A and B are shown apart, each in its own frame.
Chain A
Amino acid sequence: MKILVCISHVPDTTSKINFTDENSKFDTNGVQFVINPNDEFGLTRAMWFKEKQGATVHVVNVGGPETEPTLRKALAIGADQAIRVNAIPTDGFFVAKQLAHVVKEGAYDLVLGGRESIDYNGGMVPGMISKLTGFNFINTCISLEVDGSNAIAAREIDGGKEIISTSLPLIVGGQKGIVQESDLRIPNMRGIMQARSKPLNVTEPIDSNSEINFDNFSKPDAKGSVKLVDNVNDLVELLHNEAKVI
């Protein structure tokens, strides 16, 4: 089985979100970048398929040279090979077009992406890839087993889960559950050393347009200060008469 894990390179969850150039660009100053948490769950599941079922695992990112440390980290965790499509990810559609091309060229059986990336929260790239390639697609995937060309997955739904049966080729939008938090791996010294000599191939993008222009960004107004009360009578009264939520 040949697996491709789509890795989006995002600001660490504790980052301060600021913008520059008249609020038209995300300010990367002082920001740590990491593997998107939803993708890290997928990558970890891919390692399981590699170790238990002999799968080959490639990772891919659409981005500039600055994303290479993130791809090296994925190699250190255990992926066999990395691909960077050398382009600025202008919108989800553009990224999906690039990745669909990589998927077709590489003849992958299984593509693991995330439910959403935590920067632009698009939640669209894996679904778009599936429609562009004709792969089956499962979103908000919380467990995945593959047996030959059959796959059994669970999907989180509002208020519960669904068990789904489908077949390869398949793409999933994964999240916590596809592996547990405690299964995540911190790269060790050996992995980091090995990652240095694993292939990281840079390819040029295919021709594609974008559909969305991000013109500028703004931040929510600073919050008024909290009203503290010292008894539940006042609280209930405020929630009823002032906030009008009960």
Chain B
Amino acid sequence: MSVLVYTESEEGKFKKIAFEAVSYAKGIANMLGTKVTAVSINGKHTDQLGKYGASKVLSVSSEQLDNFNALAYADVIAQAAQQEASNVVIISSSANCKYLAPLLAINLEAGYVPNVIELPFSITPFNIKSNVFSNKAFANSEITTEKKLIGLAKNAFGIVESNTSSIQENFSPVISEDNLHTKVTSVEKSTDKITIADADIVVSGGRGLKGPENWGMIEELAETLGAATACSKPVSDLGWRPHSEHVGQTGKPVSSNLYIAVGISGAIQHLAGVNSSKVKVVINSDSEAPFFKAADYGIVGDAFEYVPQLIQKLKEFKSNNA
């Protein structure tokens, strides 16, 4: 009967979104008058999950699951849901979770709502609010199946502590060879850089920066803030920056705490992908740039003048607050 939550980890370390997902699961469990069970695949220090409300943690450790495999991971979560007789299953919105979610939904025969931003309005009927139309609107929908799969949008609910003593159990699902036809042969990943998906702060540059040779200050600003770097679509189409940095409606979504846009006009397709960031700052020389209508704070001015000053000021701020 418990609410089941999948807690994603990377190289054994839980992601922040996993803690957020447990916090959210605890919120639903309270509404249902039940408890939270977390399932973890190759995660270490699973006792941490109690802090956010997990009463039980099912730990899977398997070398076969070292590389992410959507079909196999979905199968593991489904088996955990079955064991716990869970009718409500919570996952995050990472690339991996979005990959496995539709497989899990079919597996469980559960209605799936992605991009969920709040606790349900009601449990019977099960009514829930989610982002649609690339963050330009919300849908209130009802999940009509007995089982429900909820994909929680990043940074929507937040991490909430609720010290719970948690039982740790080993869980040994059946991993079918049939699930392993799709194999990862290599992974290319810059390990020293903060990813857009994980970052609390994202610093993004647009065509206003004139050319790739001017990105030094964007990288330095990002480094000073411990932020990830991103860019607008034309910047990646022009090859100034890698495609993996392209954010917006057709690129990566950003839902960080702070998004700093430098020399970006704020076209509707760009804003659609970054609007769910909590606080947006824009630096643009044109006071008419549409981004000023979507931003919280702005400087109308030349990036080449203000960005170096901002870096300087932030360095001072950091050493004063260290």
Q: Which residues of A are in contact with B by a Cβ distance under 8 Å?
A: 11, 13-14, 17, 19, 37-38, 91-93, 96, 118-128, 130-132, 136-140, 142, 156-167, 175-177, 180-182, 210-220, 223-224, 226-233, 235-236, 238-240, 243, 245-246
| Complex contact B299–A215 (CB within 8 A) | no
A-B contact pairs, 13 of them (CB 8 A): A118-B133, A118-B250, A121-B134, A158-B95, A182-B237, A212-B113, A214-B140, A215-B141, A220-B136, A236-B310, A245-B257, A246-B225, A246-B314
Name the A residues within 8 Å of B142 (CB-CB). Answer: 212-213, 215
| Complex contact B132–A119 (CB within 8 A) | yes
Complex alpha-carbon distance, A167 and B183, angstroms: 10
Complex alpha-carbon distance, A226 and B70, angstroms: 42
Give chain B nearest CB distance to A245 CB in angstroms. 4
Partner of B297, one of A163, A219, A239: A239
* CB within 8 Å for A120 and B132 given contacts A139-B98, A140-B99: yes
| Complex contact A139–B99 (CB within 8 A) | yes
B212-235 interface code vs A (CB 8 A; 1 in, 0 out): 000000000000010000000100
| Complex contact A136–B106 (CB within 8 A) | no
| Complex contact A138–B182 (CB within 8 A) | yes
Which residue in chain B gives the minimum CB-CB distance to A142? B243
Name the A residues within 8 Å of B145 (CB-CB). Answer: 211
Q: Which of A230, A233, A245 has the most CB of B within 10 A?
A: A245
| Complex contact A120–B281 (CB within 8 A) | no
Name the A residues within 8 Å of B56 (CB-CB). Answer: none
Stretch of B21-29, B165-173, B184-192 with 4 or more beta carbons under 8 angstroms from chain A: B184-192
Name the A residues within 8 Å of B272 (CB-CB). Answer: 13
Partner of B313, one of A11, A13, A236: A236
Name the A residues within 8 Å of B95 (CB-CB). Answer: 139-140, 156-158
| Complex contact B250–A160 (CB within 8 A) | no
Give chain B nearest CB distance to A156 CB in angstroms. 7
| Complex contact A160–B188 (CB within 8 A) | yes
Dominant SS among interface residues on chain A: mixed
* CB within 8 Å for A235 and B99 given contacts A210-B144, A212-B143: no
Name the B residues within 8 Å of A239 (CB-CB). Answer: 258, 279, 281, 297
Q: Which chain B residues (231-271) contact chain A, with CB distance < 8 Å?
A: 233, 237, 243-244, 246, 249-251, 257-258, 268-269
Name the B residues within 8 Å of A214 (CB-CB). Answer: 139-141
Give chain B nearest CB distance to A224 CB in angstroms. 8
Complex alpha-carbon distance, A138 and B142, angstroms: 29
Give chain B nearest CB distance to A122 CB in angstroms. 6
Q: Which of B105, B106, B237 has the most CB of A within 10 A?
A: B106
Stretch of B33-41, B46-54, B193-201 with 4 or more beta carbons under 8 angstroms from chain A: B193-201
| Complex contact B298–A227 (CB within 8 A) | yes
B208 within 8 A of A: no
| Complex contact B143–A167 (CB within 8 A) | no
| Complex contact B195–A158 (CB within 8 A) | yes
B301 within 8 A of A: yes
Name the A residues within 8 Å of B309 (CB-CB). Answer: 231-232
Give chain B nearest CB distance to A215 CB in angstroms. 5
| Complex contact B201–A217 (CB within 8 A) | no
Complex alpha-carbon distance, A139 and B98, angstroms: 9
Partner of B139, one of A14, A217, A229: A217
Partner of B133, one of A121, A126, A156, A238: A121
* CB within 8 Å for A158 and B268 given contacts A125-B102, A212-B144, A236-B317: no
| Complex contact A219–B103 (CB within 8 A) | no
Stretch of B57-65, B82-90, B156-164, B288-296 with 4 or more beta carbons under 8 angstroms from chain A: B288-296
* CB within 8 Å for A233 and B293 given contacts A136-B182, A162-B184, A181-B237: no
B115 within 8 A of A: yes
Complex alpha-carbon distance, A151 and B132, angstroms: 33
* CB within 8 Å for A128 and B105 given contacts A215-B140, A236-B313: yes
B127 within 8 A of A: yes
| Complex contact B101–A127 (CB within 8 A) | yes
Complex alpha-carbon distance, A160 and B10, angstroms: 14
